[in-house]
Structure 1
Amino acid sequence: MKIRFTAALYAGLICGGFLIAPLQAAQVLPSFEQVKAAYVPSDAQLLDRHGEPLADLRLNPEVRRLQWVDVQTLSPAMREALLAAEDKRFFEHAGIDWKAFLGAAWQNLWGQTKRGGSTLTMQLAGLLEPELQLPGRGTSRRNLSQKWDQSLAALELEKRWSKEQILEAYLNLAPFRGDLEGIGAASQILLGVAPQSLTRREATILAALLRGPNAKVPVVARRACILADLLKDKKLCPQINLLAQNRLDAPRNVPRFALAPHLARGLLHQPGQRVTTTLDAVTQRNALGALSRIATHLRQQNASVIVLDNASSEVLAWVGALQARDADGLQARQALTQWWLPYGVEYGIEQRSHTAASLLIDANNVLDTKDARAGYSASVSSLRTAMQMRNSSALREQLRELIRTIGNDAFNERMRQLGLDAPPGPDALAGDISLVQLAGAWHSLSSGIGYVPVSPLAPDAANARRVLTPAAAFITQDMLADNAGGWRSSWTTSSPDGRQQVVMGNTDRFTVLVSLNRPERADHPDDIARSAQQLWKDIVGAIQKEPSRAPAAPDGVTSSIVVFEPPDEPVRREWFIKGTELDRVMTEALPAGARIRTPQGGQIYTLNSPVPPWTLQAFTARATRWQMDDNIIGQGAQVVWQPTAGRHRLTLLGPRDETMDAVDFEVQIAP
């Protein structure tokens, strides 16, 4: 009875039930345009300026599908294999292949195995209509009622859609394996081949998957070999078996593009999103290549790199970290010391408070003559020499005075105008800041076109502004320049513990910032500093092949010969803002260095009453005067003072009443 009932139903389908097909199917089937418009890839992509993929993120956990594939771009081998496997008479029938349908009906009645007999059009109808979809994504069969509706829908599809549209939609919606949907995902993720480049070897495997997407690998390979034999290419079978074994069950959630994963995580948020950046894939690869070449020497260290185009202000490379899983080191705010010094120098030159030839006294670096009775002398150098030697102690002392003169608020406002929204603080030593901010500020110093907020999408021209004067910026850059192997200018800063070293600098074409972190058990901070500087040079060499040229002097800048007496520094030609020129610098006019030995600054002294007098001592070889709070208490290398309770400031004055050293301390007297 069951067999006769089934046969009767099939006979009914054949004999005339399709007369009502248009009425029912027309109510549920969308147009081709609607289907294509509703298609959303599961992945979002980050693209470079030329449209080349830099990174991808899967943002739909339910299904994995890539960009829609135009059937006209599909490889001929895939089209041939698909039709041979699924619908030989696709271009001849009107939705139902009656010959295949009757053959399947007969085999399902009397044979040992089951056949579906569905055309590509019928399969597409099943994919489009939710009520016709298989519950197990191709692992179970439709009942007769669903088969009836599927056939009606196929007839209607053939009336409304072209054959090419049916083929294209089917290939983009068909399930292939696991959660992979569509020929794009199947070919690129499973086999690592673009749909346009599929050969017969790959095409037979993909076509075999359509019959059983989750079949075991040997089953898929056997079906693909049968299909290759059908296509008169039986010799492909060993290659098919090997490819199926190696690829079908390989991990499928590995990103296909990983040039800029950190930036992708910050910019991609929706499935199907395609974001075009200003990055250049070639520059990004060159930066990554320079990192990979020293990766074995970095051990557990981590590195970040950003490259800006000086002329356009565009971001050309963005490497957040060596490992994709690590946080983006370019955007994280962190404590760094002395990053503000070049901008303090530029501001001082701009304000005409000093020049590149001005002399600095390092009050914290007194030179030991190894004979205390002979006294001590201060370390003296010009601003240019201090900058080139990275003598931050002398620079800090000089610039502290400058900042106190112009006011902290004015200097901090200058920093904010440069995008450095972490003020230096009371001691002008450190502030939490991001490497992206540092790169933007350095670009303003190096490019001469003003400050432009850094963005990997497009330069923020609306908020561009002129902050630094070209003349002062030029002189500051020149003091930090190195002409070995081409002109370049750079400055190094670090974290307070020295474990992170940041080199920011530029050539005539690019602004490059490199950050290098060392592990806990790494060597001395000087080693990581040298490694960071070498990495910076390697990246510059990788992205710029031609020699960098020194910038031309802007208007308002002049040069003249400077002589130092005594000749502690060689005669040289120096750059000046017009009106600040020097031709002779006299170091003998400077007072000898001096430093307070006792008391110690920052100390709280608890004394028992009665309190004996103190002898205050200094390292000095010249006549000096001592000032306690507002009163002069004596002169010479030492002086006697009777302590009094309270907070005190002790100052050591030079021959011209200039401050040579000062300490703050507190005295508490117990009753």
Structure 2
Amino acid sequence: MSLKRYSRLMPVSVAMALTGASTAVHALPSFDQVKTSYRSSDTLLLDRQGQPLQAVRTDKTALRGEWATLPQVSPALRTALLLSEDKRFYEHTGVDWQAVGAAAWGNLWNSRTRGASTVTMQLAGLMDQDLAMPQGGQQSRSVVAKIGQASTAWRLERSWRKDQILEAYLNLVGFRGEVVGISALSARLFHKYPSGLDAEEAAITAALIRSPNAPAARVADRACGVLQEQGLKPDCKTLATYTAQVLASKRNERLNADDQLAPHLGQRLLAVWPARTPRPASITTTLDARLQRFARNTLRQHLRELRDRHVEDGAVIALDNATGEVLAWVGSSGELSQAADVDGVMALRQAGSTLKPFLYQIAIEQRWLTAASILDDSPVGLTTSSGLYIPQNYDHAFKGPVSLRTALGSSLNVPAVRTLVMVTPERFAQRLTALGLPLSHNGDFYGYSLALGSAEVTLASLSNAYRALANGGQYGPWRVQAADANTTSDRQHTNAAPCNAADATHSQAPKPAPSSSAALMNPAAAYIVADVLADREARVPTFGLSNALAARYWAAVKTGTSKDMRDNWCVGFSKRYTVGVWVGNANGDPMWDVSGTTGAAPVWRAVMDELHRRHPDQQASQPPSPPKGLLQQTVHFERNLEPPRNEWFIAGTEQADIRLASQMGAARTLIHAPSDRTIFALDPDIPLQAQKIAFALVPGVSPKWSWRLDGKRLGPATNMKWAMWPGPHLLELVDASNKVMEAVRFEVRGAQVKSKTSTADVRPVRHIGKPATHAQNPSQIK
């Protein structure tokens, strides 16, 4: 703190100092001005109830705490301070002439005495750097500074009360190193508030004022003398040990380590704080401190249990569905992580299967599918610019014909990819971007893998998109700062343009999400998707009946795992709250055998349970009321594919009998395998006769038809294995009159045979000794 912020004090003569006169042109600042202009070196994050969450260091020049009023300072410290620095503080008028005389006499005889500077004079030096005592023995400068201090001290005593002078001094005086003020010193050295300092701690504090950077032994010796002057009988050896311990402390937080609850959010809020706006002493957030602590501790405990599975990082966010207020924001696992500074709530990660609900919602909204529609969960190969895209399910098995409800509830991959063929990647990407997901490319860039979550998203944006589902398709940005226009969400900071110029030339970044509330989804379709996500029986084929997703209240939830087990998600909502959890490794290393129900789901369930425990609702177990335009219909499935049930339909799409379509009539190609233009490579380590290609047909082909390979009949049209032989081949399906009904070309390559076919017309496929499959007609997927 410097008087230059208010006025510049000019040096005065010795005569003026002795007579108490002053020629200073500008008035001294008032006590209230000094106190108001004081700033802690930290900005304090507060929860919605005003409870401290996090202290964030924002001033690197000095370490200061909150302003401490005189009643907040222990009497022991006030006694020790005045005994050490200014015994006649309440008697003099700024200058202690008795101390001045003693100091002069001591200097004359070269004896060591206490300096003559009073607390008021020292305060003058703290308030104006021109009045501070110089370093390095500049005697003439020291005399001038002393005279200026004396004059200013006299003026301070005339305009300020004694208690104000002492209070300002305690808050502005420098201690050891960068520590300024009694609040920072108490927190750093003694880990307590100034009101709790005892006699020994007060003596150490007073000793540090005299010699801030002295060795611990000298500080302890001086502190022992202060205690003895008070008539106490200290154990100076014990005091020396204790002094050495506290001076070695590196702690500088205003809160205990266990009370530092939201470091990532604190850094984020201050990073986006307007440059021209004064840094606040505190920021009130929408977080709930008790929930924040519970979520952090729950995440850490669960990750400790998963240590043997090579997973150390995680993040949690909790949202209020109605307001979008963030109730919990846990950015990392703290000391468990090797990258604790990475904010997992805002880090970009592949979304995995968590995007599927939004895909199916579009198909239902467009009335292309219903929750009872039958989708084919069987091998499929989709031709792309880089070869065939062949999706696999999580368990590498296929369920055959399944309803949309089962496909989404059990998170089957192939039906989702088939649905994306219908919806198109571009339409899907546009919807995801509208929901605030930070896709940096258009749908064509991601292709069909977008159905399985190949795009990178943040936990915050993904959870808020689920919140839109909870709100019947109504999107609104989340909010983390209480009642402040400067609040920002990841929508404003992560919907960036392509990462580099090369990306920009090949892919156009989607438009950002709307900044205010908007109806982005059909409420009836959103309700159906939420109903599926809350259906325990729909999850059975993949997850079984007993898992962490089954809550005692109504809750819609979805898990997701990215490629190579690098990211595991669980995001879901009840009628009142949305919770999102991510676990994985900040460095991108894969986890070991961690699924959606063993990774993120237990943390999701625990946080959601805690929310409902603290805010009980007698109607929590009941599903939300359906919107207009929905009706229920009892459905029966042909061949008892699935048990009869009551199903939700958008009005006009309902049907009672669900029949299987003829796969033969619906297929784009009657030859299911191999796919056209597939290349097979012989493995030299495997006997030639053991390497075979599967010739497969869609169900329904007449047994009177035949296979014909390179113009020669192979046999009846049934699924068969053919021993691979190098060279280009033409496989035909012919009817009883030898009419070609379908044909595919493929090539088998081996080192001993030269290819007779130009590779320019063949699309490469990375399948060694394995047949590939081909997609059905997108318009005929059922």
Asked if TM exceeds 0.5, the reply is yes
Match of 1:263 in 2: 265
Asked if the contact 1:616/1:641 (under 8 Å) is kept, the reply is: no
Instruction: Indicate whether 1:385 and 2:387 are aligned.
Output: no
2:118 alignment partner AA: T
Flag the 1:78–1:26 CA change in 2: closer, same or farther, 3 A. Answer: farther
The structural deviation recorded for 1:36 is: 2.9
Deviations 1:445-492 (A, max 9, x none): 123472112342257796121222332222211111144433322112
2-structure distance, mates of 1:217, 1:165: 31
SS of 1:551's equivalent in the other structure is coil
For the structure 1 residues 510 and 139, does the alpha-carbon distance in structure 2 shift closer, same or farther, using more than 3 Å as the test? farther
- How far has the Cα of 1:127 moved from its partner? 1.5
Provide Cα deviations, 1:355-389, integer angstroms capped at 9, x if missing partner. 222211124279xxxxxxxxx99801111111121
Once residues 415 and 51 of structure 2 are traced to their aligned partners in structure 1, the CA distance between those partners, rounded to angstroms, is 49
**What displacement does 1:314 show?**
0.5
User: Does 1:416 find its partner at 2:433?
Assistant: yes
Partner residue, 2:651: 578
TM-score by length of 2: 0.70
In structure 2, the residue matched to 1:159 is 158
Which residue in 2 is equivalent to 1:130?
A: 129
1:450 maps to: 474
The residue identity in structure 1 corresponding to 2:568 is Q
**How far did 1:163 drift?**
1.5
Say whether residues 1:597 and 2:673 are aligned partners. Answer: yes
Residue among 599, 602, 618 paired with 1:534: 602
Alignment-mate amino acid for residue 444 of structure 1: A
Counterpart of 2:368 (choices 336, 345, 353) is 353
List gaps (5 residues or longer) in structure 2: 1-12, 272-277, 382-396, 489-513, 537-549, 682-692, 708-731, 747-756, 764-771
Deviation at 1:121, TM superposition (A): 0.6
**Displacement of 1:444:** 0.8
Task: Work out the CA distance in 2 between the residues paired with 1:338 and 1:570.
Answer: 26
Deviates more, 1:443-452 or 1:520-529: 520-529
Shift of 1:95: 0.8
Distance, in Å, in 2 between the alignment partners of 1:455 and 1:525 is: 35
Return the offset for 1:175. 0.8
Shift of 1:268: 1.9
Identity of counterpart residues, as a percentage?
35
- Residues in 1 aligned to 2:147 and 2:778: alpha-carbon distance in whole angstroms: 106
Cα gap change, 1:261 to 1:152, in 2 (>3 Å): same
What residue in structure 2 maps to residue 197 of structure 1? Answer: 196
CA distance in 2, matches of 1:47, 1:550: 35
- What is the CA-CA distance between 1:123 and the residue it aligns to? 1.0
The corresponding residue for 2:295 is 287
SS of corresponding position for 1:364? coil
Partner residue of 2:701 out of 623, 630, 634: 623
Which residue number in structure 2 is paired with residue 54 of structure 1? Answer: 53
Moved more, 273-282 or 168-177: 273-282
Give CA-to-partner distance per residue, 1:141-186, whole Å, 9 cap, x none. Answer: 9733322222122111111222222112111110111111111111
Change (3 A) 1:542 1:586: same
1:309 corresponds, among 320, 326, 329, to 320
Judging changes above 3 Å, is the alpha-carbon distance between structure 1 residues 304 and 138 closer, same or farther for their aligned structure 2 residues? farther
Contact 1:42–1:271 (Cα < 8 Å) also in 2: no
Seen in structure 2, the aligned counterparts of structure 1 residues 113 and 400 have a Cα distance that, compared at 3 Å, is same
Q: Name the counterpart of 1:318.
A: 329
1:52-85 deviations in Å (ceiling 9; x for gaps): 3322333333321122222243333332332232
**Contact 1:651–1:660, Cα closer than 8 Å, also in 2:** no
Within 1, Cα distance between the matches of 2:291 and 2:778? 56
Number of residues of Structure 1 aligned to a counterpart in Structure 2: 620
Q: CA deviation at 1:235?
A: 5.4
Q: In structure 2, the residue corresponding to 1:530 is in which secondary structure?
A: coil
Partner SS for 2:23: helix
Pairing 1:336–2:351 present? yes
Distance 1:642 1:49, change over 3 A: closer
| Aligned Cα root-mean-square deviation (Å) | 3.9
Tell me, what secondary structure is at the counterpart of 2:633? strand
Shift of 1:621: 4.0
Q: Which amino acid aligns with 1:347?
A: I
* Structure with more of its chain in strand, by fraction: 1
Q: 1:502 aligns with which of 542, 566, 569?
A: 569
1:479-558 aligned within 5 A: 479-481=532-534, 482=536, 483-518=550-585, 524-527=592-595, 530-545=598-613, 546=616, 548-556=620-628, 557-558=630-631
Provide the residue aligned with 2:463 in structure 1: 439
- Corresponding position of 1:463: 516
Q: How far, CA to CA, are the matches of 1:155 and 1:247 in structure 2? A: 37
Corresponding residue for residue 369 of structure 1: none
Kindly state the Cα deviation for residue 285 of structure 1 after the two structures are TM-superposed.
Answer: 0.6
Q: What residue number does 2:491 align with?
A: none
Native 8 Å contact 1:653 1:660 kept in 2: no
Cα distance in 1, alignment partners of residues 532 and 112 from structure 2: 85
Matches of 1:227 and 1:377, distance apart in 2: 82
Alpha-carbon spacing, 1:138–1:531, altered in 2? closer, same or farther (3 Å): farther
Corresponding position of 1:474? 527
